[in-house]
Amino acid sequence: MQTVDVLVVGAGLAGLHTARLLARRDLNVMVVDRRRSLATGVRTTGIFVRRTLDDFDLPDHLLGPGVRDVLLYPPSRRAPIRLTSDRDEYRVADMAAVYEHARRLAESAGARILLGVRYVGASGGLVRFAGAEPVTARFVVGADGARSRVARDLGLDVNRRFLVGAEIVHPIASGTTSPAFHCVLDPRVAPGYLGWVIDDGRHAHVGVAGYPDAMRPGLRHLLETFAADAPGRAAPAGPVERRGGPIPVGGVLRRLACPAGLLVGDAAGAVSPLTAGGLDPCLRMSELAATVITGYLRTGDQRVLSRYDGGALRSRFRGRLLLRRAFAGIRSPAAAEAAVSALRGRAGRALAAKILFGDGSFPDVHPRSANPAIGHPGR
Ligand SMILES: Cc1cc2nc3c(=O)[nH]c(=O)nc-3n(C[C@H](O)[C@H](O)[C@H](O)COP(=O)(O)OP(=O)(O)OC[C@H]3O[C@@H](n4cnc5c(N)ncnc54)[C@H](O)[C@@H]3O)c2cc1C
């Protein structure tokens, strides 16, 4: 039977990035994903925010043009608020290509990646799969998304509060749009969140997300309703792809690590509760995770694991969790019209700009440590 230092379950952005960082530190790393191809089953729009683009090295050719304008619409769709930044705030990535790129980086660092392999369970270091022989793993990383099975098997915390989101993606004729992020606050189609339209110059993304209990007509129906006259949407110039999935918005989970494994990405609840952005935390928290895992496997010292502390990160989410609650409370079109009206004034625009253009959607995590066995992730 094969033995690996680290088994990473899930080849999303969090799993692939963590695997790369671990393999670079000379650990024997295996990644499994139930998807047969990383180009299928994509669950994200792929909007990367400025802070991520500044801090992490994503190749330019995988990203659409910079977006500086956000248009915020009330349910009536009349007189949207336009917020314009003097910098590029968002870029929409070709996610299939981003995953492929992350996979190549992980493989060239030495990680082995097996697709079409489903994690089934683990006990006493033995990990079982559908689609491959079992392996013995010294440590398991749960990068298996919002409804993590690894989290349950390790006895760690699990996500309990979710939005659900869905979008359609289709090619558009080039030159038919100017880069802008259209956000519609309309609880009839997106209760507790937004409807959105954004494009990368070649593909349009049109989506809705909200609380499942308030989406009685069904997510698909609400998406169709929204897409039928979504503002800023260019006509499809090719086949329509569908994406979607749960988005954990309860904040980073408290108990994220134990001697048998830890959680990263959506499995860790590492999503901004307010904006529902999870791509930045996939990269940011994986750096800390890799540092902690390496330190732990090299020293065997369980105290190292306590540095991967969701409780400490959670406390920095208080303001965002409060705003999420306020956002969730907007359940009628009249309340949404009033909320957008409140944002029209100077203070309201400043708050909206802070949320949309600020650097605070996910707190910084600092992997530095007094323990010389841990070191900095860049090394
Ligand atoms: C509709 C939608 C739009 C979004 N848009 C944005 C956005 O524009 N910007 C942003 O920042 N965030 C966005 N998010 C959130 C963001 O996409 C996620 O936070 C992020 O992709 C999570 O990455 P991950 O690697 O943790 O998990 P995932 O990308 O979900 O990867 C988990 C992987 O684990 C695999 N897996 C699961 N179970 C098993 C198993 N038993 N065995 C083997 N493999 C398994 C899955 O196949 C999957 O590949 C969006 C979310 C949704 C639903």
What pLDDT sits at residue 274? Answer: 85
- The answer on pLDDT for 310 being more than 60 is yes
pLDDT in tens, 322-367: 888 998 999 999 999 999 999 999 999 999 998 899 877 677 776 6
By CB neighbour count within 10 A (0-12 exposed, 13-18 middle, 19+ buried), where does 10 fall? buried
Quick one: three-class SS letters along 67-107? ECEEEEECCCCCCCEEEECCCCCEEEECHHHHHHHHHHHHH
Cα of 115 to ligand 1 centre, how many Å? 16
pLDDT band at 178 (very low <50, low <70, confident <90, very high): confident
How far apart CA 58 and CA 16 sit, in angstroms, is 14
What pLDDT sits at residue 296? Answer: 98
Nearest Cα to Cα of residue 15 among 272, 323, 265:
265
45 lines ligand 1 (CB under 6 A): yes
281 lines ligand 1 (CB under 6 A): no
- The answer on pLDDT for 241 being more than 60 is yes
- The answer on pLDDT for 377 being more than 60 is no
Strand partners, 195: 184, 208
- What are the backbone dihedrals phi and psi of residue 215, each rounded to the nearest 5 degrees, phi first? -110, 55
- The answer on pLDDT for 372 being more than 50 is no
Pocket test for ligand 1, best of 33, 118, 193 (most atoms within 8 A of CB): 33
310 lines ligand 1 (CB under 6 A): no
| Amino acid (1-letter code) at residue 267 | A
Q: Are 233 and 172 in contact (CB under 8 A)?
A: no
pLDDT band at 175 (very low <50, low <70, confident <90, very high): confident
Quick one: three-class SS letters along 205-236? EEEEEECHHHCCCCHHHHHHHHHHCCCCCCCC
Considering the chain, what is the average pLDDT of its residues? 93
Ranges 173-177, 323-327, 368-372, most confident = 323-327
186-219 residues labelled b (16+ CB within 10 A) or e (exposed): bbbbbbbbbbbbbbbeebbbbbbbbbeeebeeeb
Nearest Cα to Cα of residue 125 among 103, 105, 163, 153:
153
Write out the H or E segment, with its range, that includes residue 167. Answer: strand 162-171
Residue with tokens 């692939």: 16
68-79 mean pLDDT: 96
What pLDDT sits at residue 367? Answer: 60
How far apart CA 344 and CA 236 sit, in angstroms, is 32
Atom 27, ligand 1: which residue's CA is nearest? 145
Q: Which of 203-217, 241-255, 347-361 has the lowest mean pLDDT?
A: 347-361
Cα of 39 to ligand 1 centre, how many Å? 13
- The answer on pLDDT for 208 being more than 90 is yes
Q: Are 337 and 291 in contact (CB under 8 A)?
A: no
Write out the H or E segment, with its range, that includes residue 120. Answer: strand 118-123
- The answer on pLDDT for 267 being more than 80 is yes
pLDDT band at 370 (very low <50, low <70, confident <90, very high): very low
Structure-block tokens of residue 303 = 């105290």
Cα of 46 to ligand 1 centre, how many Å? 10
- The answer on pLDDT for 379 being more than 50 is no
SS3 at position 125: coil
End-to-end CA, the chain = 32
| Amino acid (1-letter code) at residue 347 | A
More confident residue, 21 or 273: 21
